Structure 1
């Protein structure tokens, strides 16, 4: 469960010597727990985010981030574990979006309708929770919205790592057919790939990833962790497997750098620094791809990619 650290006026590990500062930082237990949970969630978000961007389901991922907020508030209003609401809501809505969209892909009209409905539910559950827990609702609401990676407990960090590992394994099992279905769904279906099944299954994984990542960077910001590094990876290479690995690496780098920057500058919230670095990665990748656009890079078409999968 997420806990809130007591207010710290100064961090004893911050020094003028960078190497000493890193050693001191890594010796702090709350940094260790943040790195354990953050690395696992970042690796998962990078892998899932690549497929989200590749499949053009950015809007669906954004909607599921708001589902995470509504689900967490529903759990708080019901007086149960916040994580139960997070995972139940995001996975259920993810599957529903995939099934209702047809051909295993989420439809924009359905996503938009669900988006509006979920936001209304979030306001409803927030009103209930505010009435029942007026003294503590503000802190809990802020944690749901913006995360609390520096306040994560040892048990929660371990759980987050195991859950992320499980989801990564599921994603890797379906990665090859999912990539085929993402690049050319018609040809994939003709070759016997279960495209209609893969769509809802993948969106369920996206929902679970949203639930997991919301505990780290918050429901409002979590989709930036999935979208920005993945989009940067796509800018830097058109080779699917290379881009998948690069997306994961960039997301983990953003997580580590964001944690370190927030530690060095305590006035900056970790969620802000993590997402700012992820956005900077995309900006730099966009600039690099523009500079290299004049060169002759072979473009990997869906038909060609199908033979490389």
Structure 2
């Protein structure tokens, strides 16, 4: 397994993305942003299709659309929450837009499948370098803003009254979330982003009682899902995405069951 370059690339990308998901997922779950994550992933599908139409890599097109969407969302009036109906409308529009871009680019169905459900074994060395660069930038921003992010996401009422530049911090996080959605899509596809960005962090809530512990458990669960998923996909020649999502789901269900049994 290790002698193949595509598996080496896949393993490196999966490890970096899992660590990123473990950290970002804790904040996403804390503020119940899973639905927004799913919306960004569908916008990312349109971006990836747009990239294919222009001759870019799908990741570059996805980055363009998700970052612009995050910046737009960050300028909205936070005192007037966006209705679920409007979010659903936006999701449906961008999914349709993605189908249009694929049609006019005359890309094959394989492109659509890879964008929607991921193709980690098809990640090139260039893709790995790009993923590492994006993740490195996010790690640096999280390190700089860690205390403020923790305050804003785990004590929102206190943050509203005493945290300076709260709007700018929220905007930075939205941009980081859009970057995370784009790189995670390289593994599980745009439709199943929540599997890595929310399930490990959700399962970690049954084990950790501090932010550091939540992140540690979340990273462990994300790594378990991707590493085991890669190995199972290699041994069985079945889709890696299926194994990753199944393992993450089982981890969550087992964690929830053990928590209920012990309590």
Matches within 5 A, 1:1-309: 25-102=1-78, 108=84, 110-129=86-105, 133=106, 136-266=107-237, 268-293=238-263
Verify the 8 A CA contact 1:104 1:198 in the aligned structure 2: no
Distance 1:96 1:121, change over 3 A: same
**Pairwise CA RMSD:** 2.0
Q: CA deviation at 1:287?
A: 0.8
8 Å contact kept, 2:41–2:190: yes
Cα offset for 1:109? 5.2
TM-score norm. by structure 1 comes to 0.79
- Counterpart-to-counterpart distance in 2, 1:43 and 1:245: 9
In 2: Cα distance, 1:201 partner to 1:111 partner: 21
What's the offset of the Cα at 1:120?
2.9
- Contact 1:101/1:107, CA 8 A, preserved across alignment: no
CA offsets 1:263-290 (integer angstroms, 9 cap, x no match):
1211x21111111111111111111211
**How many angstroms does 1:92 deviate by?**
1.2
Mark the CA change 1:194 to 1:186 in structure 2 (over 3 Å): closer, same or farther.
farther
Instruction: Tell me if the contact between 2:58 and 2:115 (Cα under 8 Å) persists in the aligned partners.
Output: no
Counterpart for residue 306 of structure 1: none
CA distance in 1, matches of 2:7, 2:224: 15
8 Å contact 2:19–2:219 — kept in the other structure? yes
8 Å Cα contact 2:187-2:241 kept in structure 1: yes
CA contact (8 A) 1:231 1:282 kept: yes
Distance change in 2, residues 1:242/1:115 (3 Å): same
Residues 231-252 of structure 1 show CA distances to partners (whole Å, capped at 9, x for unaligned) of: 0001222322210221122111
Q: Deviations over 1:141-182 (max 9, x none)?
A: 111111111121122222222221221221232222112111
C-alpha change, 1:248 and 1:257, in structure 2 (3 Å) is same
C-alpha distance in 1, partners of 2:223/2:80? 29
Q: Cα offset for 1:88?
A: 0.8
Q: Which runs of 5+ in 1 are unaligned?
A: 1-24, 294-309
Q: TM-score, normalised by structure 2?
A: 0.92
From the superposition, tell whether residues 99 and 61 of structure 1 become closer, same or farther in structure 2 (CA, over 3 Å). same
CA shift digits 1:1-51 (9 cap, x unpaired): xxxxxxxxxxxxxxxxxxxxxxxx223322111111111111111211111
Contact 1:147 1:216 survives alignment (8 Å): yes
Deviation per residue, 1:188-230 (Å, 9 max, x gap): 1322332212222111111111111112221111221111111
